[in-house]
Chains A and B, each alone.
Chain A
Amino acid sequence: MTVFKYALKRLLRNKLNLFTIFLLTPLFIALTFSMGNFDRNGVNVGWVDLDGTPLTGMLRDAIADSSPVHELEEEEIRISLARSKVDYVLVADAGFSEELIGGGAPKLRSYSIQETNIANQVILKVEGFLGAAQGIAETAGGDEDAFYAGMNSFLQGNFTVSTGLYSTNGRSVEAALSGLGQLAMAMMFLSTFTAINLIKERENRTFYRVMASPCSLRNYMLQNVLVFFSVLLCQVGVMFLSVRYIFNMYLGPAVLKLFLVMAVFALLCVAMGIALATAARSVRQASTISSLVITPISMLSGLLWPRWIMPDFLQTIGRYLPPTWAIEAAHKVMLGKPLRSVSLELSILLGFIAVFFLLGTWRRADVAK
């Protein structure tokens, strides 16, 4: 285990590397992407109130229940739509409330974006609200006080809608899952580090010297794999602990199984690093390849945002990328499914591992080059 021991020693000695690997980069990426909301934004409604009565206020509040409302002046309407500050603008003209309470059916003006039907839900809601208001006005028979009393009892009605997020066991694992995605990306970056270290040993000829000693090539590779594998496992462990105890997120009911899934992914990262070390001719080339490849792979595999938001053809591409399967397996395990249910994902990962290790096999004949 000499190679293992000294490689670890040299790795730990390089504080700058460690600092970036374990802390800065993952933390940064995590912070950045945890703030993302990758669905389409809700409908932003512009509201121009030229009437200014309690009724128009009630209407505005009703809209604001489900869509953000921005108060606008009449002149701002077009520019706000063009700047996509708002997606839809409603205007209540003066006298609107009076006419409605008097039993009429006054009209609201609206400005919409021609290219989209995004405001339809708002329209449905406003029409529902005004239908109710008209009915209540009719019942009140033009009596303003009775009308508002009726409106209040309408607004506090017994019928409600409650919305909850889907999860199997009452706690959502989504936050932790996106954390895991970012962890997976950081792990892939670390695997570049594996490659760089191996290439460096080749470049500074210490590899040659080790190969001249009784240490076999297989032994040398095995111990190096072990070094990077254990570093990655530590990284996963640190991440699990901080997700759980610092960020207070829920990792699902089976943390150990989840760790197992991530351990398989860690092995994949090491295998990728070794394949990269074989393919790249210099340290610079290795780091170029990895930075060119890792970010796009992470995006397409759904490490930075959920896969479902992407169009089908990108999701299909994602199916050929190993991290997709890792994160899929992780998600299932976090939802409390048994390991059996992720056997397909795990075998695909193991297949990738085998392929990368084969690609990364160094032959003795290469040593002197």
Chain B
Amino acid sequence: MSRIITIARRTIVQNLRDTGNALGQMLIFPILLIFILGNALAPMYDVGNVDPTVVGYLNEDSGPMGRLADEFMNMPEVKDLLDVRPVDSVTQGNNLLQDMDITALIHIPGDYSTKVIAGQEAEIAITVLPGRTFRGALVETVMESFICGSNATQAMLAMGNPQPEYRPAHGTIEDQPFSVSGLMPDAMDYYAVTMLVMIVMYGTMYGAYGMAANNLYPVGRRVKASPVRPGEQYIGTTIGNVATIFVSSLVIIAFSHFAYGVNWGDNLFLILLITFLHVILAVGLGSMAIAVMRDEKRASVLINLLVIAWTFLAGGYFKITLPSAFSWIQYFSPSFLVQTALFNTIYGGPFSQTLLMLAAMIGIILLSGIIGIAAERRSGQ
């Protein structure tokens, strides 16, 4: 037992002395990334109000439909949604698009009214900047509600109504607003969780390095030559690394809470328990990678790639929505298990699911532990 403690203590001291290297990476990196991601990608997680979308508006139609369109653009409901900048020509509109001064250009062609009156198909063209999925859909929806009136009028005329009257049915929706504050993560909350999970996952490196130092380097061999029982060295190193990473996680949780106001929920104990298990899981996986591959460089390349893949699958960089037929793939990412457990705990998700995730994590830990110790025995002989 005292030998385990000796080895654990040595591991912790080594990790601490290494400040500026690995430990700095374990703390500064996530704290920086939480800040950048939390701010840069805030719109993706924002439940707040949407500002009016800035659109260029080119109306070349001087007929009745053109006038109607002008009126429509001036409706208060529309003004809430669109910030309309009239333009004089397609070229001017395109220039504004290119400089990103407007998000979309609405173009009503000169022959619009003529075509409508002749009963031909008439089209309003919208040009949207690439990548503006949300804003693009919004502009389209608004313009569809404009042509809705025209189509309705035409349908009524066709039905034999000589004086069709169309009015949008304002007030037909009875709304019950519902507050979600505290029920949903904003970007900062979201990335605090996923970056914590990612950085603990990178803790596999510690596990790998510890295992490599024990088995592949002269110093480790020397320890083996001392009266240390097989397994003791492995357990001692693991305890030291687990302690190091767990304390870094605590720092990240505390810092993100106090500096960025991240919501970690009411059940801090469960959050810490999940994180603790996750740390053990990461260190165990790292050790296992070395035990199986017996080459630190290769193992660290593999781990690096795996952590990227797992983080991505878990939606750690940004939320991903897989088609439901493929959503099982996410369960292959340990990061996903941990993230699900954490989000459930913070935002009141089903506890049964949290338990399931914890059980899966314990399973992975046991498996990697068994393989790690077996490999240690084998190399010890």
Residues in A lying within 8 Å of B, measured CB to CB: 16, 20, 24-25, 28-29, 32-33, 35-43, 65-67, 78, 81-84, 90, 105-118, 120-136, 138-140, 146, 149-151, 153-155, 157-168, 172, 174, 284-285, 288, 291-292, 295-296, 299-300, 305-306, 308-311, 313-314, 335
* B28: nearest chain-A partner, CB-CB: A292
The 3 closest A-B pairs by CB, nearest first: A157-B151, A132-B152, A128-B145
Whether A154 lies near B152 (C-beta < 8 A) is yes
Contact of B36 among A37, A131, A314 (CB under 8 A): A314
B292 at the interface (CB under 8 A from A): no
Query: Do B47 and A116 touch across chains, with their CB atoms under 8 A apart?
Result: yes
Cβ contact within 8 Å between B168 and A108: no
Knowing that A41-B134, A300-B40 are A-B contacts, what are 8 other residue pairs whose CB atoms are under 8 Å apart, sorted by A's residue number?
A: A38-B131, A113-B178, A116-B47, A120-B80, A124-B141, A131-B169, A163-B128, A166-B130
Bound state CA distance, A335 and B184, in angstroms? 40
Can you give 18 A-B contacts (C-beta < 8 A)?
A: A24-B301, A38-B44, A65-B144, A105-B169, A109-B174, A117-B49, A121-B81, A124-B141, A124-B168, A132-B151, A135-B164, A136-B155, A154-B152, A157-B147, A166-B105, A166-B128, A291-B29, A299-B36
Q: Are B43 and A116 in contact (CB under 8 A)?
A: no
B147 touches A159 (CB 8 A): yes
Q: What residues of A have a CB within 8 angstroms of the CB of B177 in the complex?
A: 111-114
Assess whether B172 is interfacial by the CB under 8 Å rule.
Answer: yes
Known: A107-B173, A149-B159, A157-B147. A314 touches B33 (CB 8 A): no
| A16 CB, min distance to chain B CBs, angstroms | 7
* A40 B43 Cβ-Cβ under 8 A: yes
* Closest Cβ–Cβ distance, residue A279 to chain B (whole Å): 13
Q: Which residue of A lies closest to B102 (CB)?
A: A166
Let me know if B360 is at the binding interface, CB within 8 A.
no
Residue of A nearest to B160 (CB): A139
* Nearest-neighbor residue (CB-CB) of A164 within chain B: B127
Is the beta-carbon distance between B49 and A124 smaller than 8 angstroms? no
- Total A-B Cβ pairs within 8 A: 323
Chain B residues whose CB sits within 8 angstroms of the CB of A132 once the complex forms: 148-149, 151-152, 155, 166
In the assembled complex, the Cα of A335 lies from the Cα of B181 at a distance in Å of 43
- Residue pair A291, B25 in contact (C-beta under 8 Å): yes
Which of B33, B119, B312 has the most chain A CB atoms closer than 10 A to its own CB? B312
Contact status A284-B21, CB under 8 Å:
yes
Residue from the list B40, B46, B176 in contact with A310, Cβ < 8 A: B40
Whole-angstrom distance from the CB of A106 to the nearest CB of chain B?
A: 7
> Quick check: is B330 within 8 A (CB to CB) of the other chain?
no
Is B317 within 8 A of A111, CB to CB? no
With an 8 A cutoff between CB atoms, is B352 at the interface?
no
Q: Is B175 interfacial (CB-CB < 8 Å)?
A: yes
B33 CB contact (under 8 Å) in A36, A163, A296: A296
The docked-state distance in angstroms from the alpha carbon of A25 to that of B46 is: 31
Give complex CA distance A91, B164 in Å: 29
- Min CB distance B93 to A, Å, is 9
B151 touches A108 (CB 8 A): no
Closest-by-CB residue of B relative to A65 is: B144
Task: Answer whether residue B270 sits at the interface, using C-beta atoms and an 8 A cutoff.
Answer: no
Minimum distance in angstroms from B115 CB to a CB of chain A: 8
Q: Does B272 sit at the interface, judged by CB under 8 A?
A: no
B50 contact from A90, A118, A167, A291, Cβ within 8 A:
A118
Q: Find out whether the CB atom of A131 lies under 8 angstroms from the CB atom of B25.
A: no
Q: Which residues from B are CB-within-8-Å of A28? A: 305, 308-309
Q: Quick one: given A32-B312, A108-B173, A131-B169, are A157 and B150 in contact (CB under 8 Å)?
A: yes
Residue of A nearest to B37 (CB): A299
Q: Could you give, for residues 22-49 of chain B, a 1 whenever the CB lies within 8 Å of some chain A CB and a 0 otherwise?
A: 1011001100110011011111101111
